[in-house]
Homo-oligomer: A and B are copies of this chain.
Amino acid sequence: MNAEYARFLLLAREIRDLGAAGALLAWDQEVLLPPKGLAARARHRAALAGVVHEKMCAPGYGELVDGLAADGELGGGLEDRADAAAAAAVREAKRDRDRAVKIPHALVTELAEATSLSQQAWQEARARDDWPAFAPHLARLVALKRREAAAVGHEGEPYNALLDEFEPGARVETLAPLLSGLAAEIVPLIAAIGEARARTGDDPGALLRGDFDVVRQEKFSREVLAGMGFDMAAGRLDVSAHPFTSGTGPGDVRLTTRYDPCDLRVGLYATIHEGGHGLYEQGLPVEFEGTPLGDCASLGIHESQSRLWENFVGRSRAFWEHWAPRARELFPERLGRAAPEALHRAVNEVRPSLIRIEADEVTYNLHIALRLELERALLAGEIETADLPALWNARLRSTLGLTPATNREGVLQDIHWACGLFGYFPTYTLGNLYAAQLREAAAAALGDLDALVARGDTAPLLAWLRAHVHARGRLLRAGALCREVTGRDLETAPFVRYLQGKFGALYGV
């Protein structure tokens, strides 16, 4: 390893270490921070974001990164894998830095402080269903993000500048048609399922609605997480208003969930979902920790991991073949002698609904399409934040036939915009698509995945994901990773095949 590269690694690691400190402050704010600590916390986070930005923009670091990027021989005589890794580390560092230097320092700290404050405002506004209390925060954030997009620069729409942060190289002009194409295949399936439901009048979900003791729910969640292979010596599970995964490195991965005392599904599937994210984080390559390579390939790939565990594993019949006995033990009054088949049907109700994170696998992507449309228009300046509740409700009515009675169940339901995360939502649908394509590749390698899940033996699946996805970190971009692991570019077909197979059988359509 040459001396320049070693110096680069030290500086890159310092930047990421400071970023990890910022991540802890953000996690703590969601989970533990006393309310009166909020204003100061916003300042602390802004100071930290400012320092990260300073370090990123420091001329010395820039010269190193640019010099190394222009150099062909990074590994300096090490074997090929090390050389490729070094080149990728420099490539990703250069990408991060080139983006950072375009954003004025004052905008960075202003954004950090504004998002910290607006997160808290969102929590309070959501609790009280008080859109007007949140609207000015959101308006300020949109204005700041538009300034950010302008500063970063973009081909096509301003939205691309933000999307690129989460899904490097993606463009909304390609992505939006992909989502529309998917919607075109899904809408008839939803209609067919709706007709089937109407014919039978079934309410399979009733089994899991009712009184479910929260302490036992937590116990169940922890057992399922352990079964997935999540390592509690390298992570935590806590409770927050909006479930998320965070942490400060592969040895400290923090999941949050939330339990609904009247519905077992809410907490369980939030936990499995975040557990899938957590397994990815715990599996990121330790040898690259603190460098740009120690990070995920993209948020789409990250979401593929949560979706794969939540839906393909957790909502499978096989999952309940393994877990039904334990669930009956924990909740004997409610679940009595419930069979795996009944539990499987209860967690796979397809029914247009208001809340994205509680939506079924089929309708879910229509929630994403709605958000993409609105945030794209916000960033383009075609609509104002003041218009959002009305537009949200109108769009939901036209796609899913529903109107939220409150903004709490509508435009206020997600934390993302309050965190300044515009361009983030589409990564959820990308995650579904990547997950389906990875699942076919895993099945080709491992054989009958359902048989493994039914035995409670998901270790081979995790090992496969570790080897092909997790341990690669950011060595490959999402598209390249997808081609390398599945042999094909990202497509909607595997996901549509999966939906049609699973729900066709469940509903006889």
A376 to B40, CA, bound (A): 38
Does A249 sit at the interface, judged by CB under 8 A?
Answer: yes
What's the nearest-Cβ distance from chain B to residue A114, in Å?
16
CA distance A253 to B235 in the complex (A): 25
Contact (Cβ within 8 A) A18 B47 = yes
* A47 in contact with B17 (CB, 8 Å): yes
Q: How far is the CA of A44 from the CA of B252 in the complex (A)?
A: 12
In the complex the two chains form, is A43's CB within 8 Å of B233's CB? no
Docked-complex contact A34 and B236, CB < 8 angstroms? yes
Contacts of A51 in B (CB 8 A): 18, 51
Stretch of A25-33, A64-72, A213-221, A390-398 lying at the B interface: A25-33
Cβ B233 vs Cβ A34 within 8 A: yes
A38 within 8 A of B: yes
**Interface residues of A: mostly helix, strand, loop or mixed?**
helix
Q: Does A251 contact B (CB under 8 A)?
A: yes
Q: Which of A34-55 contact B (CB under 8 A)?
A: 34-41, 43-44, 46-48, 50-51
The answer on a CB contact under 8 Å between B252 and A36 is yes
Cα A48 to Cα B35 with chains together (Å): 25
Chain B residues lying within 8 Å of A14, measured Cβ to Cβ, are 47, 50
Given A24-B28, A232-B34, A234-B37, A290:B43 Cβ within 8 A: yes
* Residue A20 is within 8 A (CB to CB) of chain B in the complex: yes
Q: Does A21 contact B (CB under 8 A)?
A: yes
Q: Which of B17, B47, B235 touches A34 (beta carbons < 8 Å)? A: B235
Question: Are B236 and A48 in contact (CB-based, < 8 A)?
Answer: no
Q: How far is the CB of A462 from chain B (nearest CB, A)?
A: 17
Query: How near does chain B come to A55, taking the closest CB pair, in angstroms?
Result: 8
> A248 interface residue, CB < 8 Å from B?
yes
A480 to B290, CA, bound (A): 47
Q: Which residues of B contact A233 (CB under 8 A)?
A: 34-36
Contact (A48, B32) CB under 8 Å given A37-B249, A249-B37:
no
- Chain A 95-118, CB-CB to B under 8 Å as 1, else 0, gives 000000000000000000000000
Q: Does A289 contact B (CB under 8 A)?
A: yes
